[in-house]
Amino acid sequence: MSSPLAILDRDGVINFDSDAFIKSPDEWLPIPGSLEAIARLHQAGWRVVVASNQSGIGRGLMDEDALEAIHRRMEQAVTAAGGHFDGIYYCPHHPDEGCKCRKPLPGLLEAIATHFDMSLENVPVIGDSARDLEAADAAGANPVLVLTGNGQKTRAGLPGDSTIPVYADLSAAVDNLLAADQ
């Protein structure tokens, strides 16, 4: 059996989000506990992948080189904490471009499933926004909400009978995944 897979949104889950977009490595600031949570998943044998909308590229706020520099900083921080990413997937398109990879559409998640040659059934997709949860649902994965980033606002918009698990932050969500994995 292959290692379990977890898919994480970036902004608002791993690092603090910004209404002005994260456009440089200096603006990328990890949420306390997130790097260690990723390390715990990795050390427990999980594959960890990022799936993130990065429309700052399509909006002309940054280029691919700037995004790569941000991701290098993120990867270095995760490595320093003892973790590892098995992939970073992102949608660079402007919301008006009509692409299939921008969440809430499932294109990014489907690309991950294809890359790892697996179904996303029972794969947790941890996000802070409704579009993360909708993409997970559309791809047949398990949506998980964290209350960091846009999570409080997202939780307020969930129907009263929602069965989506909600956690304070990535660290608490990982604690739950690892406890269920025992």
Is the separation of the CB atoms in 171 and 36 below 8 Å? yes
CA distance 13 to 93: 21
In DSSP notation, 23-83 reads -SGGG--BPTTHHHHHHHHHHTT-EEEEEEE-TTTTTTSS-HHHHHHHHHHHHHHHHHTT-
**Residues, the chain:** 182
User: How far from each other are the two terminal CA atoms of the chain, in whole angstroms?
Assistant: 15
Is the separation of the CB atoms in 51 and 103 below 8 Å? yes
Active site residue 161: no
Ramachandran class of 58: left when φ > 0, alpha when ψ lies in -120 to 50, beta otherwise: alpha
Catalytic one of 11, 17, 132, 169: 11
170 sits in which H/E element = helix 170-180
CA distance 21 to 70: 12
Catalytic one of 9, 17, 128, 169: 9
Residues catalogued as catalytic = 9, 11
